[in-house]
């Protein structure tokens, strides 16, 4: 999954809601089939001869049970049922908390490590970093797929042709994110990414004729105000970084909107008729490799890579490899967290997660800030939470 802001309509959430709904329907069918079986047994026993046999058997059982009845047996059974139900609830809650922590830690760590590589190490090859991270993801997903741990769709030419437009936007989204993160502090990047939601909302309105509630538009307006005020009060303002971030917002919104159009067509050209998250990770990252190599030559990162001493440092390789693992971990933990909770909790936690991320970015990288800038950042983060709640209310009503 991309490390951008949470879009106004997350196709990842929608796909899993569809999957969960289909599971519920299948379970209902199975329940109906079981009931039909039980009704069949009852119908078979309803004949006079069989009814007599069953009644005699039940009478014998009752007379036998009355001889040695245990008055406390019912209470013991109830207590045991309560204990079992309680243990299951605790287990589910523990899984939800654990998956939520894993998702928050992986998503925060990914952005902080990228900032560390680009700024602290002063690594001036963002495309090469993106290419290496995607290569790590391809290798891990391929190994897991071949070992049978996960299932992925085979990459056919028909699927590749359908997916190429999405992949071009995906690569542009990751590259511009790297470029902006090098010049802008993490807190301001987080606030500026909220603009993506505004662009996505406008795109949904014009492309899909989707209308949003007044609360959603109010939250989007607050996001714009916080982004503008944050930029004005940013003591480390960098015009190049802000330009790349604005481009990134447009590309991220375009990725979300294009993905929605292409997804149905892509499913039709797969063998199983479905395209899960692992298949998307493998497809996006695999297709990004040749394009990334081409862009390395276009942006002339080859000369820098041949002269930088960073590539001779084992610790540097360890850090960028960890960033590749974290990029993939976001996909895994997102699915795990969404499975344990739901789209509502997932969206709200994603918005709240930006608050500790922004604070950590300011403290870890010694970002110079003022009270006005900090207030603008906090205002933008709270606007993101308000937006998430407004979207939940809108979805529940629809």
Q: For residues 284, 349, 197 and 195, what is the CA-based torsion angle, rounded to 10 degrees?
A: -100
| Residue 9, domain member (yes or no) | no
pLDDT digits (tens, 9 = 90+) for 114-136: 999 999 999 999 999 999 999 99
218: which residues sit within 8 A by CB, 6+ positions away? 386, 390
Give pTM, 2 decimals.
0.75
Q: Tokens at residue 52, please?
A: 């007599």
| Residue 336, domain member (yes or no) | yes
| Residue 190, domain member (yes or no) | yes
pLDDT digits (tens, 9 = 90+) for 335-365: 888 888 877 677 778 888 888 999 999 999 9
| Residue 163, domain member (yes or no) | yes
pLDDT category at 34 given cuts 50, 70, 90 is very low
| Residue 41, domain member (yes or no) | no
| Residue 198, domain member (yes or no) | yes
Total structural domains within the chain:
1
Residue 197's domain comprises 97-395
| Residue 52, domain member (yes or no) | no
Quote the pLDDT of residue 45.
Answer: 37
Task: Say how far apart CA 7 and CA 383 lie, in whole Å.
Answer: 14
pLDDT digits (tens, 9 = 90+) for 43-70: 433 444 444 444 444 444 444 444 444 4
| Residue 36, domain member (yes or no) | no
Residue 30 has pLDDT above 90, yes or no: no
């Amino acid at each position: 999954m991309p490390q951008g802001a949470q879009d106004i309509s997350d196709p990842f959430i929608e796909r899993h809601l569809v999957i969960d709904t289909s599971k519920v329907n299948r379970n209902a069918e199975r329940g109906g089939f079981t009931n039909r079986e039980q009704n069949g047994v009852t119908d078979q026993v309803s004949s006079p001869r069989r009814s007599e046999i069953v009644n005699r058997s039940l009478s014998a059982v009752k007379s036998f049970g009355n001889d040695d009845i245990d008055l406390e047996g019912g209470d013991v059974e109830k207590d045991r049922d309560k204990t079992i139900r309680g243990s299951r609830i605790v287990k589910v809650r523990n899984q939800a908390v654990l998956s939520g922590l894993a998702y928050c830690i992986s998503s925060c760590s990914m952005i902080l490590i990228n900032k560390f590589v680009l700024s602290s190490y002063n690594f001036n090859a963002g495309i090469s970093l993106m290419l290496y991270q995607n290569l790590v993801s391809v290798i891990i997903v391929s190994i897991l797929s071949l070992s049978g741990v996960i299932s992925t769709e085979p990459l056919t030419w028909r699927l590749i042709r359908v997916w190429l437009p999405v992949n071009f936007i995906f690569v542009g989204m990751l590259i511009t994110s790297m470029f902006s993160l090098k010049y802008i502090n993490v807190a301001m990047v987080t606030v500026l990414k909220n603009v993506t939601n505004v662009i996505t909302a406008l795109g949904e309105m014009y492309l899909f004729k989707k209308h949003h509630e007044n609360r959603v538009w109010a939250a989007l307006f607050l996001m714009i105000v916080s982004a503008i005020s944050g930029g004005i009060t940013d003591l480390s303002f960098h015009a190049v970084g802000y330009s790349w971030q604005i481009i990134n917002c447009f590309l991220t919104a375009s990725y979300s909107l294009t993905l929605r159009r292409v997804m149905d067509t892509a499913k039709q050209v797969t063998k199983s008729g479905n395209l899960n998250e692992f298949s998307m990770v493998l497809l996006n990252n695999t297709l990004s490799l040749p394009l990334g190599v081409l862009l390395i030559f276009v942006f002339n990162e080859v000369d820098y890579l041949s002269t930088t001493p960073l590539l001779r440092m084992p610790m540097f390789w360890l850090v960028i490899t960890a960033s590749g693992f974290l990029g993939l971990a976001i996909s895994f933990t997102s699915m795990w967290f969404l499975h344990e909770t739901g789209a509502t909790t997932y969206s709200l936690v994603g918005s709240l997660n930006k608050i500790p991320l922004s604070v950590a970015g300011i403290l870890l990288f010694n970002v110079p800030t003022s009270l006005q800038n900090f207030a603008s950042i906090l205002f933008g983060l709270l606007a993101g939470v308000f937006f998430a709640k407004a979207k939940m209310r809108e979805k529940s009503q629809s």
